[in-house]
């Protein structure tokens, strides 16, 4: 690996910690980002000569802080009013010691930085964009590409989100245990959003968006290193690893979805599956069941089955039943119905699905599954109607293409029968 | 004499490598492994999962305490190891320097072995990622 590539990786890795600490000093996101950028520029100049520092994050924090303080001092000479209130701790500015990173501070710095992106007033897409920009350090053009919008539009979206966040007054004191747990839950949800944004993409966007899955996994690993005894974070990381392990087999050459049962299991990434299974083992020992752990356990049962026929659908049914209690939602019930159809047949599954019609009237997968169950039961006309509704709701060309294949299949069956 | 090469690096950085970067490091390391393999000096080599997958059993209490995470919280983490046959410390450090050129950052702790049990794994029983062939094992070798 070249020096430059190595430094890039080191800077990316140090970014959340460095910006998190700079944010604690300056209490201003823009100032913290500027300070970090400044420190990175200096690192690119200094590191090739002096060799990389042992602790890249501490180096960046110290250099970034000094650079930003210089700037603030210069500005204050030009402007009539000093901006002292923008600084939290001017007193220890002259402290000659390099920043000694206190483990607890570091944890809360990174958590705060992630939490800022989870502001409840921000719609999901803005939370994701903000996290990718601030925490992951993706460029605006990279994020714009992932969301398939223009760079200008994304720039504006991020600027607006930042303005909203700046007004939100996230407290900078170390959070108490209850608040910390709440932040962890919000941040976990945001990381899972980032992952799903990448995971649900199809077609040409897929390659650009895959980076979002990788990034979400990286963020979850970071979070778990900071909060190493949290079974739900283990579950979240395991869940994403087990899903992402299948990425190479989820779409065919034409960009169409390949269903789980038709996927080439040999193409699944065994290294990711191994890590996911190891994390579930760890999480279970805590005996504190949570939705991410249950979802990960379901994904693990799929990952463990060498062929679709070996899938333990009975256990998957039981896990979805557990999930219905933890996190009741018609979508969970819909997923459970898939397992039920394998264990108790399409009639039982259809009975479970039909009452969901009203709440899932706009949901692609509802009509997809309903169509499939009706087709299995030989109720062809009703199956066709359900598939038609699914196509109308398809969010990606790949989804639509997948349903169209089922309709063609039905038409072919009808033609050969007549 | 057999030496262990304990591979330390900042795992945040290593696990931030792109697939292409990871593959480039692996290829560069492989070029160092190959001549050692040919000379019959290359022993087991291991690349570890991140420390988030680790569990630690503290045996200084009864019953032992089981904790999540690695034994030591350090700036650099133990991410893998090699066992390589070297004539003396100088030869071992030469290998370490070659490895370091292929994979900068972090440190190798070079430590002579006191006991070596080669183990009883049949090839089929090798862990995921190492199962394909003997060669795959060296390909998997401690990139850190």
The interface predicted TM-score of the complex, written ipTM, equals 0.83
Residues of A in contact with B22 (CB under 8 A): none
B24–A228 C-beta distance less than 8 A: no
Q: Write the CB contacts of A383 (distance below 8 Å, at least 6 apart in sequence).
A: A371, A372, A374, A375, A410
Handedness of CA A50, A54, A56, A57 (dihedral sign): negative
Whether A224 contacts chain B with CB within 8 A: yes
- B residues 76-135 lying closer than 8 A (beta carbon) to A: 103-105, 127-129
Q: Using CA atoms, how far apart are residues B105 and A237, in angstroms rounded to an integer? A: 26
CB contacts < 8 A, A to B, total 77
pLDDT digits (tens, 9 = 90+) for A363-391: 999 999 999 999 999 999 999 999 999 99
Quick one: pLDDT at residue A416? 79
Whole-number Cα distances in Å, A144 to A49, A151, A395, B29: 35, 5, 19, 36
A54–B105 C-beta distance less than 8 A: no
Q: Residue B107 belongs to what H/E stretch?
A: strand B107-112
A275–B105 C-beta distance less than 8 A: no
Residues of A in contact with B16 (CB under 8 A): 9, 12-13, 218
Whether B73 contacts chain A with CB within 8 A: yes
pLDDT digits (tens, 9 = 90+) for B7-53: 999 998 898 888 888 999 999 999 999 999 999 999 999 999 999 99
DSSP-assigned states of every residue in B38-102: HTT-EEEEEEPPPGGG-EEEETTSSSPEEEES-SS--SSEEEEEEEEE-SSHHHHHHHHHHHHHH
Tell how strand B42-47 and strand B77-85 pair up: antiparallel
Of the candidates A136, A138, A105, which has an alpha carbon nearest to the alpha carbon of residue A219? A136
B104 closest CB neighbour out of A6, A222, A279: A6
Average pLDDT over residues A189-207: 79
Contact (Cβ atoms closer than 8 angstroms) between residue A353 and residue A334: yes
Q: Using CA atoms, how far apart are residues A101 and A98, in angstroms rounded to an integer? A: 9
Residues of B in contact with A14 (CB under 8 A): 12-13
Q: Decide if pLDDT at A103 tops 60.
A: no
Lowest mean pLDDT among A31-40, A81-90, A125-134, B68-77: A81-90
Quick one: pLDDT at residue B135? 39
Q: Using CA atoms, how far apart are residues A337 and B102, in angstroms rounded to an integer? A: 52
Whether A212 contacts chain B with CB within 8 A: no
B129–A270 C-beta distance less than 8 A: yes
B16–A12 C-beta distance less than 8 A: yes
Residues of A in contact with B14 (CB under 8 A): 9
Domain ranges of chain A: 3-101, 105-218, 229-307
Quick one: pLDDT at residue A84? 46
Contact (Cβ atoms closer than 8 angstroms) between residue A125 and residue A184: no
Whether A124 contacts chain B with CB within 8 A: no
pLDDT digits (tens, 9 = 90+) for A234-292: 999 999 999 999 998 988 887 777 888 899 999 999 999 999 999 999 999 999 999 99
- Alpha carbon of residue A382 to chain centroid: 37
Quick one: pLDDT at residue B42? 97
Residues of A in contact with B10 (CB under 8 A): 10, 13, 56
Number of CB atoms found within 10 A of residue A368's CB:
22
Tell how strand B42-47 and strand B55-58 pair up: unpaired
Question: In a 3-state reduction of DSSP, which class is residue A417?
Answer: helix
A279–B52 C-beta distance less than 8 A: yes
Domains of chain B: 2-139 (3.30.70.1060)
Percent residues over pLDDT 70 in chain A? 90
- A residues 58-87 lying closer than 8 A (beta carbon) to B: none
Q: Share the mean pLDDT of chain B.
A: 87
List the end-to-end C-alpha distance of chain A, in Å, as a whole number.
64
Q: Using CA atoms, how far apart are residues B1 and B22, in angstroms rounded to an integer? A: 31
pLDDT digits (tens, 9 = 90+) for A1-34: 567 777 888 888 899 999 999 998 888 888 899 9
pLDDT digits (tens, 9 = 90+) for A72-89: 787 776 655 444 444 444
Q: Using CA atoms, how far apart are residues A127 and A166, in angstroms rounded to an integer? A: 14
pLDDT digits (tens, 9 = 90+) for A166-192: 887 777 777 888 888 888 999 999 999
The residue count for chain B = 144
Map A175-190 to HEC letters.
Answer: CCHHHHHHHHHHHHHH
Whether B68 contacts chain A with CB within 8 A: yes
Quick one: pLDDT at residue A154? 92
What burial class does residue A215 get, using C-beta atoms within 10 Å of its C-beta: 0-12 exposed, 13-18 middle, 19+ buried? buried
Provide the Cα torsion A293, A299, A302, A306; round to 10°: -90
Residues of B in contact with A13 (CB under 8 A): 10, 12-13, 15-16
Residue A120 — φ and ψ, nearest 5°?
A: -60, -25
A13 closest CB neighbour out of B16, B67, B69: B16
Distance from CA of B85 to the nearest CA of A (A): 26
Residue B50 — φ and ψ, nearest 5°?
A: -60, 160
B51–A10 C-beta distance less than 8 A: no
């Amino acid at each position: 690996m070249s020096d430059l590539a190595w430094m890039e990786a080191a800077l990316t890795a140090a970014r959340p910690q460095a910006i998190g600490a700079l944010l604690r000093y300056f209490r201003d996101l823009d100032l913290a980002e500027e300070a970090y950028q400044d420190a990175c520029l200096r690192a690119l100049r200094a590191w090739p000569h002096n060799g990389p520092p042992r602790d890249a994050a501490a180096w960046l924090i110290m250099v970034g802080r000094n650079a930003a303080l210089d700037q603030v001092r210069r500005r204050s000479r030009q402007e009539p009013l000093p901006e002292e209130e923008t600084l939290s701790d001017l007193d220890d500015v002259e402290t000659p010691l390099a920043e000694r990173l206190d483990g607890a501070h570091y944890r809360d710095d990174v958590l705060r930085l992630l939490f800022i992106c989870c502001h409840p007033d921000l719609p999901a897409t803005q939370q994701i964009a903000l996290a990718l920009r601030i925490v992951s350090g993706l460029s605006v053009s990279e994020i714009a590409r992932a969301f398939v919008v223009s760079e200008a539009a994304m720039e504006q979206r991020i600027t607006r989100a930042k303005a909203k966040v700046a007004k939100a007054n996230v407290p900078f004191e170390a959070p108490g245990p209850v608040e910390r747990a709440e932040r962890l839950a919000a941040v976990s949800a945001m990381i899972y959003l980032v992952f799903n944004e990448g995971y649900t993409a199809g077609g040409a966007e897929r390659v650009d968006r895959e980076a979002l899955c990788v990034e979400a996994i990286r963020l979850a690993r970071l979070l778990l290193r900071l909060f190493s005894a949290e079974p739900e974070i283990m579950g979240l990381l395991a869940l994403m690893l087990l899903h992402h392990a299948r990425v190479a087999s989820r779409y065919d050459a034409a960009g169409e979805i390949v269903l789980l049962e038709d996927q080439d299991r040999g193409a699944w990434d065994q290294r990711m599956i191994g890590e996911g299974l190891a994390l579930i083992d760890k999480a279970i020992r805590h005996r504190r069941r949570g939705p991410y752990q249950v979802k990960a356990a379901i994904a693990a049962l799929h990952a463990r089955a060498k062929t679709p026929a070996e899938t333990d659908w009975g256990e998957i049914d039981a896990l979805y039943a557990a999930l219905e209690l933890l996190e009741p939602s018609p979508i969970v019930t819909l997923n459970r119905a898939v397992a039920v159809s394998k264990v108790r047949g399409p009639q039982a599954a259809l009975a479970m699905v039909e009452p969901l019609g009203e709440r899932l009237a706009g949901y692609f997968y509802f009509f997809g599954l309903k169509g499939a169950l009706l087709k299995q039961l030989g109720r062809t006309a009703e199956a066709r109607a359900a598939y038609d509704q699914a196509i109308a709701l398809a969010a990606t060309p790949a989804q639509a293409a997948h349903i169209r294949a089922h309709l063609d299949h039905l038409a072919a069956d009808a033609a050969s029968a007549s | 004499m057999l030496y262990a090469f304990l591979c330390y690096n900042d795992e945040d950085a290593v696990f931030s490598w792109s697939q292409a970067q990871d593959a480039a490091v692996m290829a560069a390391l492989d070029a160092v492994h190959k001549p050692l393999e040919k000379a019959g000096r290359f022993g087991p080599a291991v690349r570890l999962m991140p420390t988030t997958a680790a569990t630690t059993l503290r045996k200084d209490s009864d019953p032992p305490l089981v904790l999540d995470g690695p034994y030591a919280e350090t700036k650099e983490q133990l991410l893998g190891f090699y066992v390589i046959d070297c004539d003396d410390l100088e030869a071992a450090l030469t290998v370490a320097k070659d490895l370091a050129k292929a994979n900068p950052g972090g440190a190798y702790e070079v430590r002579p072995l006191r006991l070596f049990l080669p183990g009883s794994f049949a090839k089929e029983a090798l862990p995921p990622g190492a199962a394909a062939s003997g060669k795959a094992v060296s390909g998997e070798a401690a990139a850190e």
